[in-house]
């Protein structure tokens, strides 16, 4: 019997979500618009990796980068409609993790 092929769109979505830190960045931005340093300190990611993730998410039209001309310049990140549409997926993973994983204090 022939194996069914995986839908290329599904494969692309899984590939995006499985990139290290990507889902956590999107999850953090579900809280609202944030600056680079806020995202970085909230999830404990290096500046280089966060910069790479944000650029990739911006290219994918999941994150919006807004430059506010002030002194100094303020750069804020927020989710686009496409990015916000990931919320049910991430909330489902969040709920699943609460049911099936122990926290460090429970171990």
Residue 18: per-residue pLDDT = 92
Residue 5: per-residue pLDDT = 83
Residue 107: per-residue pLDDT = 57
Residue 106: per-residue pLDDT = 65
- Whether residue 5 is contained in a domain is answered as no
CATH number at residue 47: 1.10.10.10
Q: For the chain, give the mean pLDDT.
A: 92
Mean pLDDT for 29-33 is 98
| Residue 62, domain extent | 21-95
- Whether residue 103 is contained in a domain is answered as no
Percent of the chain residues past pLDDT 70, beyond the cut: 94
- Whether residue 16 is contained in a domain is answered as no
What DSSP assignment string belongs to 51-107? HHHHHHHHHTTSEEEEEE-SSS-EEEEEE-HHHHTTHHHHHHHHHHHHHH---GGG-
Number of domains the chain contains: 1
Kindly tell me if the per-residue pLDDT of 2 is higher than 90.
no
- Whether residue 34 is contained in a domain is answered as yes
């Amino acid at each position: 019997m022939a194996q069914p092929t995986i839908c290329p769109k599904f494969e692309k979505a899984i590939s995006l979500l499985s990139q290290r830190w990507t889902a956590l960045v999107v999850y953090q931005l579900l809280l609202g618009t944030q600056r680079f340093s806020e995202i970085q300190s909230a999830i404990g990611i290096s500046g280089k990796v966060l910069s790479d993730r944000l650029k990739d998410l911006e290219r994918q039209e999941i994150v919006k980068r807004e430059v506010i001309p002030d002194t100094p310049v303020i750069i804020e990140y927020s989710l686009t409609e496409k990015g916000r549409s990931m919320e049910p997926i991430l909330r489902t993973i969040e709920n699943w993790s609460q049911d099936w994983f122990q926290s460090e204090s429970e171990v």
